[in-house]
Amino acid sequence: MGKSIPMNMDRLKTDFAGIKMPTPVMGASGTFGFGVEYDDFIDLKQVGAIISKGITPLPRAGNPGVRIAETPAGMLNCIGLENPGIEKFLSDVLPKVKEKAPDTTFIVNFSAGSVEEFGMMAKKLDVDGVDAIEVNISCPNVKAEGLAFGTDPEVAAEVTREVKASTSKPVIVKLSPNVTDIVKIAKAVEEAGADALALINTLTGMVIDTRTWKPLLGNITGGMSGPALKPIAVRMVWQVAKAVKIPILGLGGISTAEDAVEFLLAGATAVAIGAENFVHPDAVVQVAAGIDKYLESRGLNHVSELIGKVEA
C-alpha cells in the first residue's frame, strides 16, 4: 500500500449526491484503471472515489493502431473503450476491487449502444460493491446513425430516465463538451432524474503526422484531455451550475490543488483527476492534501465553503 499523506479529513469529507467520501477528489474514468492499480503509489483510503474505466455490454479489444498522442499541454486518446465486458467485470474485477479497496467509494462508468442497453447495464450494476454509476452518454447511438447520445437533449433525457428506472444507485450523467449548448443538455438530464452531473468529457481533436501526411491516431480523431482543457471545463461547470440544482463533478485538466479550487468556486461539489494521473500517479491524494492546505490558509473550516463562491 502506498504511503498516507497528512491531511485534515474533517475539512475535506464530502457528500456528493448522497455518496459519502473522505475527500472531494476522485480518480477519473479511463485514467485510474479500476483503482487497485494505484495501490503501490497511494493509500486508497484517502481517495474520494474510484471511477472505473468504461464498461460495455460485451468485451472490447479497443481501437487498432496508435491510441495516444501527446499535444502541447495535453494528450489525445482513442483507446476505444477496451474493457472485459459487464459479465467478466462482475465476476472477476469487482470482487478484486472490493478485496483490495473495501473502504473506498467505487463508481462504475459505463456506456452502451442503445437506450435499452443502458437500462440493462444499469440493472446489472445494481449490486453490492457498486456505490454509484456514471453514465457515459458521449458514445454513438447505433440506432441514430452514430449520433452521440449526449448531443441531443431528448435522447440524453431518454437514456437518463431508462437508467434511473433500472437502478437504486445514485446516477451521475457524464456530459460531452462537443455540443453547442451544454446547459440545455444538463437541464434535460436533470429533469429526467439524474442525481448528479459530471463535466466535462474530452474534446474531439486530431493530430496529423507531417512526415507521412496521415493522421497519427489509428482512429483518426481522439479525445483531448490535459491542462489545455481546463479553462473550457471551468467555464462549462460555471454555466451549468447556475442552471441546475443537482451536484456537479468537475473535471478537465486538473493538475494542482489550485486547479481543483477553481472548479469548486465555479460550482462543482467534487472534482476528478484524469490525465495528470499518468504524470503523477499520486495526484489524487496530492490534490486533496493541497486543497486542505488552501482551506487552512484561508481560515476556512470545510471545503463546502468554496462551492459556487466565484464572484462573477
Q: Would you please indicate which residues are annotated as catalytic (active-site) residues?
A: 139
User: Cα separation of 273 and 287, whole Å?
Assistant: 9
User: Cα separation of 250 and 110, whole Å?
Assistant: 18
Q: Pairing between strand 68-71 and 221-225?
A: unpaired
User: Cα separation of 234 and 254, whole Å?
Assistant: 10
User: Cα separation of 265 and 251, whole Å?
Assistant: 13
Q: Supply the DSSP string of 77-93, one letter for each residue.
A: E-----B--HHHIIIII
Burial class (CB in 10 A: 0-12, 13-18, 19+), 213: exposed
Q: Supply the DSSP string of 222-274, one letter for each residue.
A: EEEESGGGHHHHHHHHHHHHHH-SS-EEEESS--SHHHHHHHHHHT-SEEEE-
